[in-house]
Amino acid sequence: MTNENATIAAGPDAGPPAQERVSKEGAVGNNRRPLYLAILAVFVLFWVLGLWAGKSTTTLLNLTVEGIMLGGILALGSMGLTLVYGVLKFANFAHGDLMTIGAFVAFALMQVLPGSEAIASFSFGWGLLVAMVLAAPVVAAVALAVDFLLFRPLRRRGASVVLFTMASLAAMFFLRSVIYLIWGADYHFFYPGRANPAMHLPFGITLQADKIFIFVLALVVVGAVWILLERTRMGKAMRATANNPDLAQVRGINTERVIQWTWIIGGSMAAAGGVMYGLASQLRPEMGFVLLLPLFAGTILGGIGSPLGALVGALIIGIAFQLSSGFIDPTYGPGVAFLLMILVLIIRPQGMFTMGGD
Amino acid sequence: MPLLEVDGITAGYGDSEILHNVSMRVEPGEIVSIIGPNGAGKSTLMKAVFGLLHPKSGTIRFDGHDISRLEPYQIVERGMCYVPQVANVFTELTVEENLEMGAFLLREGTLDERKGRIYDLFPRLKERRRQRAGKMSGGERQMVAMGAALMLDPKLVLMDEPSAGLSPVMVEMIFERIEEINRNDGPAMLIVEQNARLSLKMSDRGYVLAAGENRFEGTGPGLLNDPEVGRLYLGG
C-alpha cells in the first residue's frame, strides 16, 4: 500500500508529491502562510536571543520600534527600487546613490535657506522640509539624465538585463564619485551639535520625535504612490507596462513616457528617503551604498515589482536589523538582513506579494 | 482608396527574411482574412502592418499615409488597433482597467460611454469587470482583448488567430461577435486565422500566404470554393 504523502519513497520520476499536486492551483495563496509564520518565528527567536543575551524587554521593545522607524526610511527607497524593477525590468544598483544625492542636495540647500529653528519637539526646522521638497525634483532630474544617457540607448539596442544591471553599477560608482568631488569624504550633519532628546512614551518606549515624523512621512508618501498606481491613468499605465511591456505598446501606451514617470517617482521617493536617513543618522557619501543591501533584501522579500511588498519587506528588514543588535554586534546587521532574505526566498521564491507567475 | 495598402514588403526578424514582396489591401469596412500553413509569415505580416517590426523594403499605407516607419502607439493614434494572439490582456489588471488601457490615448471624456458599449457587446465582461484578467478563461480573455482593441473606435482592427486555444463554442461566439462588430458601418477587420474555413466564410476577401509569399487572392466565398485552395490549405 503506498503512502501518498511519502516524498522520499516516491522515486525520481514520480513527479511532484501528492500534497503539492493537489494544491497546485492554490499554491500561490497556500505558500504565504508558512512565510508569515517563518518571519514571526524569526522575530520571536530574536527576542528570545536578546533576552538570553541579558537585554530587558523594554530594550527589545525599543529596538523593535526603532526597527519600524528604520523600515519607514527603507520603504521609501525600496518602493522606488521595486517600481523601477517592475517597469524597467532590472535591479538599479544606483538607487542608493540617488538617496545620497537627495540628502546632500538638501544639505546644500539648507545652508542658504532660512527656518533652521526646531519645530515643536522635532530637531529639524522648516528649512529641512523645504530643502527636501526641493531636492526631490533634482534627484528626479539626475535619474532622468542617467536614464537618457545610459539606459535608453541600451533599451533601443535591445540589450540584455545583465547589461542594464552592470550599467547601473557603473552609474553608482560615477554618482558617488561626483558626491566625493563636490562634498568631500567627510561626515556631515543636518544640524551639527543639536540635541535631540527622546520622548517618553508608554511601555517604556523612548523615541525621538523625529523618528515618528519619519515613519508617518514614509506612510504618507507610500500611500500617495499607492493612490497614484491604483487610481490614476498614468499609474495604471505603469502597472500595465510592468505587467506586459509589449502589450502596453500595442494598446498605444507611450512606454518611454511611462519609464520617465517611473524615474521621476522613484527618484523623488529616494530623495525623501535620503533626507530622512540623513536626519536619523548622518550624511556621508557611502550612505546610499550602505543601504543597498537592506533595500534589496526588503524589496526582494516583499516580492520585487510589488509596492505593497516593498513596504512590508522594508519594515521586516528594518525590524530584523535593529532587533538583531540585541544579541550580536550591530555591524552584522546587513548579514542578518541578507540571511532573512535567503530564508524567505527558500520558502517562497517569488517573495511575499507577487503572484505565482502567470 | 484602400484603407490599408501593403505594397511589396520584404520583412523579417534580424537578418532573416520571412516575407518576400508581399502585397495586399483592405478596403474600408471590409473583413479580410489571411490564411496559409504554419510558418507562412501570416503573423509576421500582421506585426509589420502594426509597426511591431519594420519592413526592409516596400511600403505600408494606412488612410493614405505611409506608416512603414511608425511605432505602434503612433499607428494606434491613426485608428488601427491590434488583438495579439497570446499575452493579449494585462493579467495583473482588472477587466475594467484593461478596457481603460485600451482607451489610453483618449483625450475627451467619453470613457464610461465607451466602456458601456463594450459591456453591451460582451455582457459577461460587465459581470466580471472587477476581476483580474489573469484569472479568466481563454474565451473571456479573448473578449477582454477584443473589447480593449475596440475602445478607441478604430477604423481597422487586426486580429491574430482569434480562435487559437478556444473551445468550439467559444470560437463560434467570437466569430459571431466579429461579424456583429463589423456590421452597420463597423471597423474593417484583418484576420489571420488557422481555421481557414470559418474565417473565409465571413470574409469579404482573403489572401493565401505560403512561404512568405502571396499565393492566392480572391473573395471569401471564392477562395472557400476554389478546389486548389481547398486541397492545399483547407484540409480537403
- B50: chain A residues, CB-CB within 8 Å: 250
Is residue B28 included in any domain, yes or no? Answer: yes
Diameter over CA atoms, chain B: 52
Is residue A355 included in any domain, yes or no? Answer: no
CB contact under 8 A, A252 and B105: yes
Cβ atoms within 10 Å of A261's Cβ, excluding its own: 19
CB contact under 8 A, B148 and A240: no
Structural domain count of chain A: 1
CB contact under 8 A, B93 and A236: yes
Q: Are B26 and B156 in contact (CB under 8 A)?
A: yes
Check residue B123 and give left, alpha or beta (phi > 0: left; psi -120 to 50: alpha). Answer: alpha
Instruction: Give the up-direction half-sphere exposure of residue A241: CA atoms within 13 A in the CB hemisphere.
Output: 27
Kindly report, residue by residue over A275-297, the tens digit of the pLDDT.
999 998 889 999 998 899 899 99
CB of A56 less than 8 A from some CB of B: no
Of A239, A250, A355, the CB nearest to B72: A250
Can you give the CATH number for the domain in which A232 is found? 1.10.3470
Is residue A19 included in any domain, yes or no? Answer: no
CB contact under 8 A, A249 and B71: yes
Q: Are B101 and B148 in contact (CB under 8 A)?
A: yes
- B77: chain A residues, CB-CB within 8 Å: 252
- B95: chain A residues, CB-CB within 8 Å: none
Beta bridge partners of B188: B156
CA angle B174, B198, B90 (to 5 degrees): 35
Cβ partners under 8 Å of residue A269, min gap 6: A76, A77, A79, A80, A221, A225
In chain B, % of residues over pLDDT 90: 62
- Report residue B172: phi and psi, to 5°: -60, -45
Kindly report, residue by residue over B90-139, the tens digit of the pLDDT.
999 999 999 999 999 988 888 999 999 999 999 999 999 999 999 999 88
Is residue B127 included in any domain, yes or no? Answer: no
Structural domain count of chain B: 1
How far is C-alpha A110 from the geometric centre of its chain's CA atoms? 26
Q: Give the cell for residue B114.
A: 465607451
Q: Are B104 and A247 in contact (CB under 8 A)?
A: no
Q: Are A235 and B97 in contact (CB under 8 A)?
A: no
Q: Are A316 and A306 in contact (CB under 8 A)?
A: no
Is residue A95 included in any domain, yes or no? Answer: yes
Is residue B125 included in any domain, yes or no? Answer: no
DSSP per-residue letters across A313-354: HHHHHHHHHHHHTTTS-GGGHHHHHHHHHHHHHHH-TT-SSS
Supply the pLDDT for residue B220.
Answer: 87
- Supply the range of the domain harboring residue A138: 62-190+197-347
Is residue B194 included in any domain, yes or no? Answer: yes
- Report residue A28: phi and psi, to 5°: -60, -45
- Supply the range of the domain harboring residue B43: 1-79+155-167+188-236
* A248: amino acid identity, one letter: A
- Give burial (CB, 10 Å; 0-12/13-18/19+) of A119: middle
CB of A155 less than 8 A from some CB of B: no
Is residue B160 included in any domain, yes or no? Answer: yes
* Chain A interface test: which of B101, B130, B151 (most A C-beta within 10 Å): B101
User: What's the gap in Å between the CA of A85 and the closest CA on chain B?
Assistant: 16
ipTM of the complex: 0.89
Of A239, A247, A251, the CB nearest to B87: A247
- Which residue carries 474565417 as its cell? B199
- Global pTM reads 0.85
Q: Give the closest residue to A189 by CA, choosing from A122, A254, A265, A128.
A: A128
- Give burial (CB, 10 Å; 0-12/13-18/19+) of A111: exposed
Is residue A269 included in any domain, yes or no? Answer: yes
Is residue B173 included in any domain, yes or no? Answer: no
Q: Give the closest residue to A336 by CA, choosing from A353, A313, A349, A319.
A: A319
Is residue B196 included in any domain, yes or no? Answer: yes
Is residue A37 included in any domain, yes or no? Answer: no
Q: Give the closest residue to B163 by CA, choosing from B182, B138, B186.
A: B138
Supply the pLDDT for residue A269.
Answer: 95
Q: Which helix (H) or strand (E) holds B88?
A: none
Can you give the CATH number for the domain in which B6 is found? 3.40.50.300
Long-range contact list for A341-344, CB < 8 A, 24+ apart?
A341/A296, A341/A297, A341/A300, A341/A301, A341/A317, A343/A38, A343/A42, A344/A35, A344/A38, A344/A39, A344/A300, A344/A301
User: What's the gap in Å between the CA of A336 and the closest CA on chain B?
Assistant: 33
Q: Give the cell for residue A309.
A: 511588498
- A232: chain B residues, CB-CB within 8 Å: none
- B71: chain A residues, CB-CB within 8 Å: 249
Alpha helices in chain B (DSSP H): 42-50, 72-77, 95-102, 111-121, 123-127, 138-150, 168-182, 196-201, 220-225, 227-233
Tens-binned pLDDT, residue by residue, of chain A (358 aa):
333 333 333 344 444 444 333 334 444 455 688 888 989 999 999 989 988 888 888 888 899 999 999 999 999 999 999 999 999 999 999 999 999 999 999 999 999 988 888 888 888 888 999 999 999 999 999 999 999 999 999 998 888 999 999 999 999 999 999 999 999 888 999 888 787 778 888 888 888 888 889 999 999 998 999 899 999 999 999 999 999 998 999 999 989 999 999 999 999 999 999 999 999 888 999 999 889 989 999 999 988 888 888 999 999 999 999 999 888 888 888 889 889 989 988 888 888 887 644 3
In chain B, % of residues over pLDDT 70: 99
CB contact under 8 A, B93 and A253: no
CB contact under 8 A, A250 and B105: no
CB of A254 less than 8 A from some CB of B: yes
User: What's the gap in Å between the CA of A229 and the closest CA on chain B?
Assistant: 11
Kindly report, residue by residue over B138-172, the tens digit of the pLDDT.
889 999 999 999 999 999 999 999 988 889 998 99
CB of A232 less than 8 A from some CB of B: no
CB contact under 8 A, A249 and B148: no
3-class secondary-structure state, position A301: helix
Of A233, A246, A254, the CB nearest to B73: A254
Is residue B97 included in any domain, yes or no? Answer: no
CB contact under 8 A, B87 and A246: yes
Is residue A68 included in any domain, yes or no? Answer: yes
